[in-house]
Structure 1
Amino acid sequence: MRFDPPLVTARLLRRYKRFLADVVLDRPGEAPAAEREVTVHCPNPGAMLGLDTPGARVWLSPARNPARKLRWTWELTEPADGLGRGLVGINTSHPNRLAAEAVAAGTIPELAGYAGLRREVKYGRNSRIDLLLEDPRRPACYVEVKNVHLLRRRDAAGEGLAEFPDCVTARGAKHLEELGDMVEAGHRAVMLYVVQRSDCAAFAVAGDIDPAYAEALRRARARGVEALCVACRITPEEIVVARPLPLQL
């Protein structure tokens, strides 16, 4: 997934009301900092632990619609928490597209070989599955995609651990139950975690943040739901699914 038009850089002042942030655009020499301060859209409803530190360098995409109230959308951040290494994607609307591109390219072997891929297909109890993989030779595969950006610790070797969720998600637990229902109906179901950062070596569930979600995943796996995790390569030019991450469940 390429950023077109190119992203611009800024410094984060504050994030508030979940979906808003104030930044100072990096346009040295053009105007005083006070005149370069703007409010931008933050496309992330989570806690964003370690990613919304004031002073952090961030990357923004310009709105395609000139009439949109907020001209900029926050896309990437350079963590200022001392743990992060490299860029982190914070836009939770991207993982579905990233997963679809990776499946189409054969980057995720476990999801390869299907004849068709559809997105946002209605299923379950008033839900939509992120990806539905179909092939006349095998059962349909229901793939739920979750964005991951939380990193709270590194091991003695300096390897980072990606975790999900970063806040309580009753909706996420509901999706896991519905995936289990699909397995029992004779289909295949996969929980796919897309880590929008490249500085992690493994994935785990943040059970201390949301014990109910951790239990829902345990139950779903017992019912036959598969769990996969992939990490991305991130630059200011593009985000691409790059490699699998082992799960520590």
Structure 2
Amino acid sequence: MNNSPGLYFHIGKKARDLLYKDYGQQPSFHFSYQWIDWNLDLSCQTESVVPGLHTALRFVVPDSGKVELRFLHDYVGITAGSGLKMTSHNHVGLDPAVHFSGVIGTDFVSLGTDIAFDMSTSTFNKFNAGLSFNCPYLVASLTLNDKLDTIKASYYQPLNPLTRSAVAAELKHSFFIDRTTTLTVGGQHALFPSTLIKARMDSNGKVGALVQQGFWQKFFLAISGEFDFKDNDRRRPKIGLSAALAP
């Protein structure tokens, strides 16, 4: 029996993937022309160097990159690493922040934390904590983010594994910075084995949908759109295009 709790980013991942993945969210660098946004995000992971130990690399071209060590074993999951970033003179330098996350528990329930320490200022620029509950019928999580300013509760429920039908919801509340509460709900369904459709809406008036098409069981292309009913200045949808290559 596998008792591994996974890694910290697995906490709430199924709900996040349904509600946000492939919808065209951009990192700090992206190209924008009118209503089209794009970026290039590459990641890879090596096989186990020793049992349970992996090396992961991620590059957001041409803005930044990150190298990370991941250790996954029974009852514990640990990640540690540092980053690369592009300086103002187009030179790559070491990011002064180091990252660490750890999770303890089982595949049923787990508890973890995620921190980042800025060595140049000797301060913590990230401190998160999370709790996850997993069973075949639902996945629920509770996390504290933004240095414990934001609380998120997420819920994911599979409906039909054959058609990948599922629903998810996320409730987010900020205590101090903007003191807002946002509810996001969404669902997904596979029309065909290689064609997945998703839709979501939130309490701020944003509605989004996407169609993802798989090719050759390895390559996936998704077209997404989002419309903000409360944005009086830009009454037009945002269109996004994303591609992924499965290992």
What is the TM-score when the length of structure 1 is the normalising length? 0.25
**Bigger helix share:** 1
What is the TM-score when the length of structure 2 is the normalising length? 0.26
**Bigger strand share:** 2
